[in-house]
Structure 1
Amino acid sequence: MKRLTFALTGMALLAACSTISVTNQWKDPTWHGQPASSVLVVGVARSDTMRRLFEDAFSRELGAAGIRATPSYSSIPPGEDGSARLGDLVKSTGSEAVLATRVQRVEDRINVSPGPYAGGFYGWYGGAWAAAPEVTQTTLVTLETSVWDARSDRLVWTVTTRGVANSDIPKATDELAKTLIPKLKADGILR
């Protein structure tokens, strides 16, 4: 049930990662287009609030990096019906690229550690029976962020990231953006 709750609140997990690390990265080796200076930001989520928080925060970080960014929620409704309007929004905003992020996987990890060691075999043996183990649970979120070149309608860059879930979406999105934007610039995807 807990896993289902996380899946249904996808954007909360989408943006709610701390200590983000890149786990996989791909760039189309045949793409030789120009780096984008304007980006449409799309957060795929069931929760409109979480989507708005994510798109606003990521757009703000792109703006701070000198990239004109437009959140998609202003013109595209949540859900599958929005795909029909996506092309129109890309054209009307003059976006050269579309950056889309979605939750790929949520994992609950449970770690059980033995109780404290009391020294020597007899202390260990007695402590092994008496000490309760320490149990910790961590929720890991894997995100997939893809960039499409709007001029050629091609997927040109994609990355998966992993982080520990938390509830401060704007802060976690800022961390995600600060992790990805330098990579996007270094790979020639963004100007």
Structure 2
Amino acid sequence: MRPLRYVVLLASSLLVACSAVTVTNQWKDPTWAGPPVSNVLVLGIAKSDTNRRLFEDTLAEQLHAAGVTAEESYAVIPLGGGSQEKLVELVKNSGAQALLATRVQRVEQKTNEMTSGPAYGRFYSWYGNAWSMSPELTQYDVVTLETSVWDLKTEKVIWSTTTENVSSTNIPQAVRQLASTLIPKLKSDGVIR
């Protein structure tokens, strides 16, 4: 009975670790007439410059693979952004039509509890096993991201979504998962080519 319990626990842990990105909310400005943009500036909001660069490099790479010109904002905008006037000048000089910005909205700790009681049979066997059968707990973080696309001509948000995924220390892999969810939606909504 114990080996089966460990197989179930291992399988549930792997499912949590390999979970896909889930879109929880999505919005597109109904007044935005397009056309779809083909040149995007990618901005990852992060306190860590390394995390920002990893995020932006990976998402820009995924957009390039989808046929969209994308530039990492760290090449254009310094950490923290600077003054508003300087930011406007830097963004305009990039030549981008839109800015795709992603930020962490929240992180929630979740707990999975796997309980398996002793097999019923005779009381004395059950009683002895009941004490040794304690619940197995698995804790993980769920990260909620907000991604917005800004039309740089009007300086207004034209598309926005929130997504959830299990936290990962492998940023490039997590961003590729995010991109595989976002890019098809951006294309089908006519936001990017």
Q: TM-score, normalised by structure 2?
A: 0.83
- Could you say if the C-alpha distance between residues 125 and 89 of structure 1 is closer, same or farther in structure 2, counting changes exceeding 3 Å? farther
Secondary structure of the residue aligned to 1:177 is: helix
Structure 1 residue aligned with 2:171: 169
Structure 2 residue aligned with 1:64: 65
- Specify the code of the residue in structure 1 equivalent to 2:184: P
Distance 1:169 1:186 in 2: 26
How far apart are 1:18 and its partner, in Å? 5.4
- Could you say if the C-alpha distance between residues 83 and 179 of structure 1 is closer, same or farther in structure 2, counting changes exceeding 3 Å? farther
Q: Superposition pairs for residues 91-130 of structure 1, below 5 Å?
A: 91-120=92-121, 122=123, 126-130=128-132
Question: What are structure 1's unaligned runs of at least 5 residues?
Answer: 1-16
Deviations 1:28-76 (A, max 9, x none): 1121121100000000000000000100110011111111101110121
Structure with bigger gyration radius: 2
Distance 2:122 2:153 in 1: 70
- Specify the code of the residue in structure 2 equivalent to 1:132: S
Distance 2:140 2:182 in 1: 23
Question: What are structure 2's unaligned runs of at least 5 residues?
Answer: 1-17
- Specify the code of the residue in structure 2 equivalent to 1:174: R
Q: Percent identity?
A: 54
- Could you say if the C-alpha distance between residues 91 and 119 of structure 1 is closer, same or farther in structure 2, counting changes exceeding 3 Å? same
Equivalent pairs, count: 175
CA-based RMSD of the aligned residues comes to 2.0
Q: TM-score, normalised by structure 1?
A: 0.84
Distance 1:110 1:32 in 2: 44
Distance 2:27 2:191 in 1: 12
1:86 paired to 2:126: no
Secondary structure of the residue aligned to 2:180 is: helix
